[in-house]
Structure formats: structure tokens, C-alpha cells
């Protein structure tokens, strides 16, 4: 029987935990009166910010107006601390509105003012940045930001605040399906919530522990966690949370083969969701219920529930659920012998699947500059493959442990076969590693091919079109003045194509290797006061293409870090090939990189991740006002 | 009349070029090729004055084609017409033995001018290209030289400081100094620091 997609809800505690209290109108009124009398910009901005906070949960539009007003006053006239708090509110608003790039934009501004802000606010800042990365599926960045929040909490004894931070880290690991880490952090979060009596936090973390335990196949622990969570949610009258937990419990029991219990919980989730008009949970419970009916062979009920779920999903425009319901319907019709209807829904399924992918693509393209995007993607793959290696490693260790235990019971006679099995395990593991390496390499060569095609094929055609148009344009200048505009557009497009292609994979790197590519990069740096010099030795012969690409990206990242953060006037890069390894050194004479700053941190993390991918060593010296020296050794 | 062959793997581009040049009475397009191998075949059978050559082509690319033409000592002027426009590429194109270079979006007038110049004088360099090359030549780039930082380290080693002391003096870690030291030994072909001191004294890096 096909396992349908269960929907697991992970409760996210990204925003500061606050009890929702309707603000008394008198309080708001008195603030308004104070605002009408206030003169100094500082006072006006401060009152507007307070009003924003009071109104945020009741009337978000009005709240936003007050925030805009506060923001409009803040060109250099406000104190750094107030300006920082206003910007932080802006970060919060953008996070709620899902404008993640704006979140990052304002977060950077807040970061500049971090010395003037209460550490508690910084914890909120990094939590929100992490949450934005999480929603954008940038899990590596998310964890980095959350860790930063953790560090600040530690340094300032903000133990209670760490409950939230740990939960966020745990949820990110859930998404990455790194269950042991997820469990570690979720448990830490639960303990803190318990210590400080944060009941809602306890309920959420328990629900999340339910998800984690289920995925670790520890079903009893999972049920126990859900049940504890349910008790708390009932106490808190969180009906929405209950409906979700019931739905998740249904999935769990279905997986255990206990259809009666599964049915009971889906039904309970559904009636609760209907009660409070929570359509998103309802559509999920209906879909899961339909799957259950199908598993039991009750096709009529399955059909009715798929259709109900689909109708709500369409209304909510929840594309994932629409897609999955079409898949369910297609399989259902196939089973009851209606191939034409099955085909119809199969087509819809494919359509929605593609549309989801397309939509994501379009969003990506419009949201970010391609350069950033393509590099991020590469990093993600690196990170994921690293994560997978770690996961594989852990899994294999676990298996090995179980095996060892049983072998000792069976006696020494079996030790030999155990040895053989271990070798097989090892070989399997090595094969997996090789597979991942091959995948990364394939991805890189594919990218090189796309870059070349874009550059030569698309670029060439554009260039020729421009030439021909120019020719015609000379003759028709009088009649069709707009032709000049078209020529300009083509010229710009051509430049963009060249840029995109170059960012995907620099032609110099593929054709001539590392030294030429680095030289080209240095040439193309914006003309500033930074004097750069590349020293090379023994680099005439090319090295392995994958190593070249990694090293090139490392150098790029290092240069970017220097330009953005170091305020240096001199940058020396040296690249020397020794007998067994390659030495890369990047030294500048700037102010020293603040490793704690988020941007520089991400850059360095990326460098480290690539170095470890190449099994190399990494060292950084940075002192305030004494420049930065990065030294890397890569075995060859 | 200049006899011309065009080599480019993109049909759209070749056809565009043909239509652009066909109106001119001074040039005649004799042959077209999709890759380097076809170019060599054409050159064997036809007498061509100027070859308009793309770099990125399947089978045999522009660089290999130019090298082959020089190897076989074929009498033809090569004008490379490519999408690549970075200095590194241009330098490599000219090093390989091309007689001229132009980016693909030059426009009719410049292209005709280039074909004429290369046919009459044997080579063509646009003012932009010439400037890029000259600027590059003027810049003093001793990339294999010892870097100022390395000289500093040599000096301190010769003065008898330990790695730890050098690290402290330069506000760097032992690890970084150690890396510099190994790089210096590599560059100078020396085995150990004692050899380094001798070398430094001989070369006058260190003032005794």
C-alpha cells in the first residue's frame, strides 16, 4: 500500500513568547494624546514604536502605519538605541509578511547598531534571521544564526530565552532530518521551558518531540510526548495545537498499523479543526483520513474525503495538499478500475508538481541576484552532502553497535563473520561517499556546461541580433526611433547573460585554470584603494577540476570578506604548490574581521566547509587593527 | 577582394555574419565551418586570406585550430571573433598566434575595417585591446617573486628569532609563520632554515 504524505506540524517559537492580552483602549488613547503633544523626534518616534507594539496583535495595518512613521523620523536624528529598536520591529514585520530578503536587509542594519542594543533584543534579532533562513530552506544559515543567539544568551545569562533558541535549532534539525541533534536540542528546550514554567513552550516542544521520536521509530516515547503535550494544550485551551497533535497521532497509529486508533485521532482532529475553523489542519486530516480509508479498502469513503480535502486545499491555495490529493485520487481510481479518471488526476498531479517547482524557481529568480543564488545552491549541496555523510556515519555506527552486541552473544566463532560484515559496512559507506562526490562533481560539470551554453549560444545569438538590428537601425532611424531602445535592451541582456554565465562558472577557470581565474577576478574588482597582488609558485600545471573550483570559490569568498569587512588597503594572495599539498594564504592589512558579525561568519563558515570537503586544514589569525591572515593547506 | 572563411558552431551566428558582410563589395565569403577540423579541411583546399574564428567550438576549439595552423605553416590571417572579452582570454588568444581579436558584438563597420587592416598589414588590434594589453604590460607583476611578508619573515629568521617570537612580532600565529617559512623554503629550493640564513646573507636580503 502506498504511503501517503503525512503532514507533520512543527510548532515554531520564533517571535518572543508573550501572552496575548488585548490592550485596553484607554491605554492606547492616552498614548495617542501623548503623541499629539510630543515635539522632539526622539519622543515622537518612541511613542509611535510603543503604539506599534500595543496594536500589533489587534490591528496590524494601523500598527504598521505607526512603525512607518517612526521609521520616517530616523535619518540620523534619533539615538542609536531607539533607531535599533525601530529597525528590529521592521525586521519582525517583514518576517510576519514573509519578506525574507527585507528581513536580512534590516537585520544587517540592526547588526551595525548592536553595541547600543540590549542583548535580549539581539537574541530576538538572530532568532528572527534564523527563522527567515529556515523558511527559505537555508538550514545551514538558520542554524548559524540561532547559534549566534545562543552565544549571546550565554554571554548575558539569558537562560530562559534559550528555550526559544533551542526549539528553533531543534526544528531546523527536524527539517534536515537529523533526528539525534533535533532530539538533543528539543529536550534542552523542554527542560528550560519546564524550569521557567513556560507552559506553551512545554506543549510545543513535547509535540515536536513526538515528531522526532516517531521518526526515530520510538513509537511509545512519541505517543507519550504527544499525550503530555495534549494535557498542557488542553489546560492552555490551545484548540489549534490539539487539532494538529491529533492529526500527527493519527499518522503515527496508521504507521503502526493500528487503523482504529488512527481513525479515532483523524476524526478527533477533524472535528476540533472544524470547531475552530482551522481549515489548514482540516484539509490535512481529511487527506490523511482518505488515505486510511483507501488502505482499508473503503474506496467510497476515501473518494469523498479526498474530494473534501481537495476542495478546501483549493480554497486555501495550498499547493502541496492539492498536489497530494490529486496523487491520492489517481491511485484510488486506478484501484477501482477507472483508468481514464486515474490518468486525469495523474495529469493534475504532474501539473501541480511542476507548478510548485516552477513557482519556486520564479520566486528564486525574482527574489535574488543569480550570483548569490547559484553560489548558495552550491554551498547547500556541499552542506547537505556533508550532513548526509555525518548522518550515514552515525547510522552505520548505530548498526555496528547492535551487531556487535548480538555477535558477542553468539560467541567468538562468529567473530570472523562479524569482521566480514563490518568490512561490507565499511565498503558500503565508502561507496556512498564516492556516490556523493560523484554527484557534486556531476553537478559542477553540468553547471560548467550550462555556463558555456549560455555564454556562447545565447550570448552569440544576442550579439548577432544586435549587429543586424544596428544595421537596420541606421537605415530606419527616422521612421522607427524605438529601434535604438531595442538595441540597448539587447545590449543589456547580453551583458546580463555574460554575468550570469560567469557567476555560474568562470570561463577563465575552466579554460586556463586557477591562477588565471584569480587574476581575472582581481582585475574585475571595483577600482578602489585596495591594492591586490597574487603570488604563485609551481602553479603552471593544472590541478584536479573539483579542487580548482573549490579553491576558486574560497578565494572569491575571502576577497569578498576583505572588501566588505576589513577596510584594508593591501591584499596579498599566495598560492604555492608543494610536493604533497597546496598552500593558499590570504593576508590583508585591515581592521581585522569580527568573526562574530553574521556576514563575515557565514563567509568563513563557507570557506571552512569547502576546506573540510577537500580534507584540508584551515587557520585564521585576526587581531583588532592588525589585519587578517587566512592560511589553508589542501592535500593534492 | 578579401577571401574569407567563417568558423563558428552556431548556425544563427554564421548566417547573421554572412548577411552582414554579403552587401560589401570588398569581401567575399568563400567557406563556412562548424569546428576546427572543418577549418583545416577548407584551408587545405581553398586559398583563404582571412579566417574569422570562434573560440568555443566542439571537436576542435579555436585555440587548437590556431596552434594547428601554425604547426602546418598555413598561409592565412586569423581574426578571432568571440564572446570572451576578458584580458586573460585576449592574452591567451594572442599568445596562441592569432593576428587579431574582436568581441562578437562589434558592429559591421568595425568588423569590415578589421578585415581590411588585417589583410593589408597582417594584423589588427582595436584601440581598446591595445590599451588593455599595454596597461597590463606596464603593471609590474612579479607573481613568482618573494612577497614583502615573506621577506619580513626571512629577515627575522636570519636575525635569529624563533617562530614563536616572529609570530608575536608580526601579530600572527605560529601556524601562519610556519606556513610562510615552508613556502619560502619551497620557493628558494632550500631544505631548512640554516640554508635560508645563508641564502639571505648571500643575496643581501639581510644586512650584516
* A463 with B104: Cβ contact below 8 A: yes
* A460 with B175: Cβ contact below 8 A: no
Q: Which CATH class is domain A509-635?
A: alpha beta
Q: Report the share of chain A in percent with pLDDT over 70.
A: 87
Cell 503502526 found at: A256
pLDDT of residue A23: 46
Alpha helices (runs of H) in A458-576, residue ranges in sequence order: 459-475, 482-504, 507-512, 514-523, 545-561
Q: Which residues of B touch A519 (CB under 8 A)?
A: 88
Q: Which residues of A touch B9 (CB under 8 A)?
A: 456
Query: Is A574 within 8 Å of A585 (Cβ atoms)?
Result: yes
pLDDT at A210 over 60: yes
* B171 with A516: Cβ contact below 8 A: no
pLDDT of residue A388: 63
Alpha helices (runs of H) in A113-218, residue ranges in sequence order: 119-135, 139-155, 161-175, 179-195, 199-215
pLDDT of residue A17: 37
Confidence band of A407 (pLDDT split at 50, 70, 90): low
Give, for B14, the enclosing helix (H) or strand (E).
helix B11-21
pLDDT of residue B119: 93
Classify residue A358 as exposed, middle or buried by CB count within 10 Å of its CB (0-12, 13-18, 19+): exposed
Confidence band of A392 (pLDDT split at 50, 70, 90): low
Q: Report the share of chain A in percent with pLDDT over 90.
A: 20
B172 touches A at CB < 8 Å: yes
| pLDDT tens digits, one per residue of A106-142 | 898 888 888 888 888 899 899 999 988 887 777 788 8
What 8-state DSSP symbol labels residue A630?
Answer: E
Average pLDDT for A525-553: 87
Confidence band of A386 (pLDDT split at 50, 70, 90): low
Closest CA to A208 of A9, A18, A15, A5: A9
Confidence band of A371 (pLDDT split at 50, 70, 90): very low
pLDDT at A313 over 60: yes
- Does this model's pTM top 0.80? no
Residues in chain B: 208
From chain A residues 535-564, the ones with a CB under 8 A of any chain B CB are 535-538
Closest CA to A262 of A279, A285, A282, A280: A285
Predicted complex ipTM exceeds 0.85? no
Q: State the cell numbers at A450.
A: 550550462
* B182 with A578: Cβ contact below 8 A: yes
Q: Which residues of B touch A629 (CB under 8 A)?
A: 172-173, 176
pLDDT of residue B139: 66
pLDDT of residue A381: 58
Q: Nearest CB to B179: which of A462, A511, A631?
A: A631
Q: Nearest CB to A471: which of B20, B54, B183?
A: B20
What 8-state DSSP symbol labels residue B124?
Answer: B
B204 touches A at CB < 8 Å: no
Q: Which residues of B touch A611 (CB under 8 A)?
A: none
How many pairs of residues across A and B have Cβ atoms under 8 Å apart?
A: 126
Q: Which of B208 and A577 is assigned the larger pLDDT?
A: A577
Chain B residue closest in CA terms to A497 = B83
Residues paired with B3 in a beta bridge: B28
| pLDDT tens digits, one per residue of A24-69 | 567 777 788 888 887 788 888 888 888 888 887 777 778 888 888 8
Structural domains present in chain B: 2-138 (3.40.50.2300), 148-203 (1.10.10.10)
Least Cα separation, residue B172 to chain A (angstroms)? 6
The number of beta carbons lying within 10 Å of the beta carbon of residue A65 is 15
pLDDT of residue B205: 61
Instruction: Specify the 3-state DSSP secondary structure of B29.
Output: strand
Q: Which residues contact A338 (CB under 8 A, 6 or more apart)?
A: none
pLDDT of residue A337: 87
* B172 with A621: Cβ contact below 8 A: yes
pLDDT of residue A378: 56
Q: Which of A76 and A550 is assigned the larger pLDDT?
A: A550
Mean pLDDT of chain A: 82
Confidence band of A354 (pLDDT split at 50, 70, 90): confident
Confidence band of A164 (pLDDT split at 50, 70, 90): confident
In the predicted model, residues of chain B with pLDDT beneath 70 are: 139-144, 203-208
The residue of B7, B22, B80, B83 whose CB has the most chain A CBs within 10 angstroms, and thus the best one to mutate to test that interface, is B83
Q: Is the dihedral of CA A94, A95, A97, A102 positive or negative?
A: positive
Closest CA to A403 of A426, A435, A434, A432: A426
What 8-state DSSP symbol labels residue A412?
Answer: G
B13 touches A at CB < 8 Å: yes
pLDDT at A417 over 80: no
pLDDT at A373 over 70: no
Q: Which residues of A touch B173 (CB under 8 A)?
A: 619, 621, 629
The residue of B8, B18, B183, B188 whose CB has the most chain A CBs within 10 angstroms, and thus the best one to mutate to test that interface, is B183
Q: Nearest CB to B10: which of A457, A516, A574?
A: A457
Query: Is A553 within 8 Å of A632 (Cβ atoms)?
Result: no
Classify residue B44 as exposed, middle or buried by CB count within 10 Å of its CB (0-12, 13-18, 19+): exposed
* B16 with A465: Cβ contact below 8 A: yes
Q: Which residues contact A94 (CB under 8 A, 6 or more apart)?
A: A100, A102, A103, A106
pLDDT at A3 over 70: no
pLDDT at A578 over 80: yes
pLDDT of residue B143: 62
Closest CA to A305 of A278, A277, A324: A324
B107 touches A at CB < 8 Å: yes
B171 touches A at CB < 8 Å: yes
pLDDT at A481 over 80: no
Closest CA to B118 of B14, B19, B35, B2: B2
| pLDDT tens digits, one per residue of A558-574 | 998 888 888 889 999 99
| pLDDT tens digits, one per residue of A486-515 | 888 888 888 888 888 888 888 888 888 899
Q: Is the dihedral of CA A516, A519, A523, A524 positive or negative?
A: positive
A499 touches B at CB < 8 Å: no
Average pLDDT for A422-447: 77
Q: Residues A13, A16, A20, A26: what is their CA dihedral angle, to the nearest 10 degrees?
A: -160
A466 touches B at CB < 8 Å: yes
pLDDT of residue A67: 86
Task: Find the range with the poorest average confidence among A242-246, A405-409, B62-66.
Answer: A405-409
* A467 with B16: Cβ contact below 8 A: yes
pLDDT at A14 over 60: no
B11 touches A at CB < 8 Å: no
A588 touches B at CB < 8 Å: no
Query: Is A370 within 8 Å of A500 (Cβ atoms)?
Result: yes
Alpha helices (runs of H) in B56-205, residue ranges in sequence order: 62-71, 87-96, 108-121, 127-138, 148-158, 163-170, 174-188, 193-203
Least Cα separation, residue A141 to chain B (angstroms)? 29
> Could you give the C-alpha distances from A543 to A436, A513, A635, B184, B196, in angstroms and in order?
21, 8, 11, 21, 29
Domain boundaries, chain A: 370-504, 509-635
Amino acid at each position: 500500500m502506498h504511503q501517503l504524505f503525512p503532514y507533520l506540524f512543527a510548532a515554531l517559537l520564533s517571535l518572543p513568547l508573550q501572552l496575548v492580552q488585548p490592550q485596553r483602549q484607554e491605554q492606547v488613547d492616552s498614548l495617542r494624546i501623548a503623541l499629539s503633544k510630543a515635539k522632539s523626534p526622539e519622543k515622537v518616534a518612541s511613542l509611535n514604536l510603543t503604539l506599534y507594539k500595543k496594536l500589533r496583535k489587534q490591528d496590524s495595518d494601523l500598527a504598521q502605519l505607526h512603525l512607518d512613521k517612526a521609521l520616517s523620523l530616523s535619518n540620523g536624528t534619533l539615538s542609536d538605541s531607539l533607531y535599533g529598536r525601530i529597525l528590529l520591529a521592521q525586521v519582525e514585520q517583514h518576517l510576519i509578511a514573509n519578506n525574507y530578503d527585507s528581513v536580512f536587509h534590516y537585520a544587517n542594519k540592526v547588526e551595525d547598531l548592536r553595541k547600543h542594543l540590549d542583548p535580549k533584543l539581539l537574541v530576538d534579532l538572530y532568532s528572527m534571521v534564523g527563522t527567515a533562513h529556515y523558511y527559505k530552506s537555508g538550514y545551514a544559515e538558520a542554524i548559524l544564526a540561532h547559534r549566534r543567539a545562543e552565544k549571546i544568551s550565554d554571554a548575558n545569562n539569558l537562560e530562559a530565552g534559550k528555550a526559544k533558541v533551542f526549539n528553533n535549532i531543534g526544528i531546523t534539525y527536524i527539517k534536515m532530518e537529523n533526528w539525534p541533534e533535533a532530539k538533543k536540542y528539543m529536550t534542552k528546550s523542554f527542560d528550560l521551558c519546564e524550569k521557567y514554567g513556560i507552559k506553551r513552550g512545554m506543549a510545543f516542544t513535547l509535540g515536536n518531540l513526538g515528531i522526532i521520536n516517531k521518526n526515530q521509530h520510538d513509537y511509545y516515547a512519541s505517543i507519550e510526548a504527544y499525550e503530555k503535550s495534549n494535557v498542557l494544550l488542553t489546560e492552555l485551551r490551545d484548540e489549534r495545537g490539539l487539532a494538529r497533535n491529533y492529526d500527527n497521532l493519527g499518522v503515527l497509529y496508521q504507521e503502526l498499523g493500528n487503523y482504529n486508533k488512527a481513525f479515532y485521532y483523524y476524526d478527533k482532529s477533524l472535528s476540533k479543526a472544524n470547531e475552530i475553523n482551522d481549515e489548514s489542519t482540516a484539509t490535512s486530516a481529511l487527506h490523511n483520513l482518505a488515505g486510511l480509508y483507501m488502505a482499508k479498502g473503503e474506496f467510497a469513503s476515501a473518494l469523498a474525503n479526498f474530494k473534501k480535502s481537495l476542495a478546501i486545499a483549493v480554497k486555501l491555495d495550498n499547493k502541496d495538499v492539492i498536489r497530494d490529493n490529486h496523487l491520492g485520487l489517481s491511485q484510488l481510481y486506478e484501484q477501482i478500475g477507472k483508468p481514464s479518471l486515474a490518468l486525469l488526476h495523474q495529469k493534475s498531479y504532474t501539473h501541480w508538481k511542476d507548478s510548485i517547482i516552477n513557482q519556486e524557481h520564479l520566486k528564486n529568480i525574482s527574489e535574488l541576484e543569480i550570483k548569490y543564488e547559484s553560489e548558495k545552491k552550491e554551498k547547500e549541496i556541499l552542506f547537505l552532502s556533508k550532513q548526509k555523510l555525518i548522518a550515514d556515519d552515525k547510522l552505520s555506527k548505530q548498526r555496528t553497535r547492535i551487531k556487535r552486541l548480538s555477535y558477542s552473544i553468539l560467541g567468538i566463532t562468529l567473530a570472523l563473520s562479524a569482521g566480514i560484515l563490518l568490512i561490507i559496512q565499511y565498503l558500503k559507506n565508502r561507496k556512498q561517499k564516492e556516490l556523493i562526490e560523484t554527484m557534486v562533481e556531476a553537478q559542477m560539470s553540468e553547471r560548467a556546461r550550462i555556463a558555456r551554453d549560455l555564454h556562447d549560444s545565447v550570448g552569440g545569438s544576442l550579439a548577432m541580433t544586435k549587429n543586424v538590428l544596428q544595421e537596420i537601425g541606421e537605415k530606419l532611424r527616422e521612421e522607427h526611433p524605438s529601434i535604438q531602445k531595442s538595441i540597448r535592451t539587447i545590449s543589456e541582456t547580453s551583458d546580463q547573460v555574460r554575468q550570469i554565465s560567469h557567476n555560474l562558472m568562470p570561463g577563465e577557470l575552466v579554460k586556463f585554470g586557477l591562477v588565471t581565474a584569480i587574476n581575472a577576478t582581481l582585475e574585475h574588482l571595483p577600482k578602489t584603494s585596495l591594492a591586490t597582488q597574487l603570488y604563485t609558485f609551481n602553479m603552471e600545471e593544472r590541478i584536479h577540476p573539483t579542487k580548482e573550483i573549490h579553491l576558486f570559490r574560497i578565494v572569491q569568498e575571502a576577497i569578498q570578506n576583505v572588501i566588505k569587512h576589513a577596510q584594508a588597503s593591501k591584499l596579498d594572495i599566495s598560492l604555492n604548490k608543494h610536493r604533497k599539498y597546496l598552500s593558499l594564504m590570504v593576508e590583508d592589512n585591515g581592521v581585522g574581521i569580527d568573526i562574530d558579525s553574521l556576514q563575515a561568519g557565514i563567509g568563513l563558515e563557507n570557506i571552512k566547509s569547502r576546506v573540510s570537503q577537500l580534507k584540508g586544514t584551515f587557520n585564521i589569525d585576526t587581531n583588532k587593527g592588525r589585519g587578517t591572515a587566512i592560511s589553508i593547506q589542501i592535500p593534492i | 577582394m578579401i577571401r574569407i572563411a567563417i568558423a563558428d558552431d552556431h548556425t544563427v551566428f554564421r548566417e547573421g555574419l554572412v548577411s552582414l558582410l554579403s552587401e560589401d563589395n570588398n569581401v567575399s565569403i568563400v567557406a563556412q565551418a562548424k569546428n576546427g577540423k572543418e577549418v583545416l579541411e577548407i584551408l587545405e583546399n581553398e586559398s583563404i586570406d582571412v579566417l574569422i574564428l570562434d573560440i568555443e567550438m566542439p571537436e576542435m576549439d579555436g585555440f587548437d585550430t590556431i596552434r594547428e595552423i601554425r604547426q602546418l605553416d598555413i598561409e592565412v590571417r586569423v581574426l578571432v571573433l568571440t564572446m570572451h572579452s576578458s584580458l586573460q582570454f585576449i592574452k591567451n588568444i594572442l599568445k596562441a598566434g592569432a593576428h587579431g581579436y574582436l568581441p562578437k558584438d562589434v558592429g559591421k563597420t568595425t568588423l569590415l575595417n578589421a578585415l581590411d587592416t588585417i589583410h593589408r598589414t597582417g594584423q589588427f588590434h582595436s584601440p581598446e585591446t591595445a590599451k588593455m594589453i599595454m596597461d597590463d604590460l606596464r603593471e609590474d607583476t612579479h607573481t613568482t617573486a618573494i612577497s614583502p611578508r615573506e621577506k619580513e619573515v626571512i629577515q627575522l629568521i636570519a636575525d635569529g628569532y624563533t617562530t614563536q617570537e616572529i609570530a608575536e612580532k608580526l601579530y600572527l600565529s605560529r601556524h601562519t609563520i610556519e606556513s610562510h617559512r615552508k613556502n619560502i623554503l619551497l620557493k628558494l629550493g632550500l631544505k631548512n632554515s640554516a640554508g635560508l640564513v645563508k641564502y639571505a646573507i648571500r643575496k643581501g636580503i639581510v644586512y650584516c
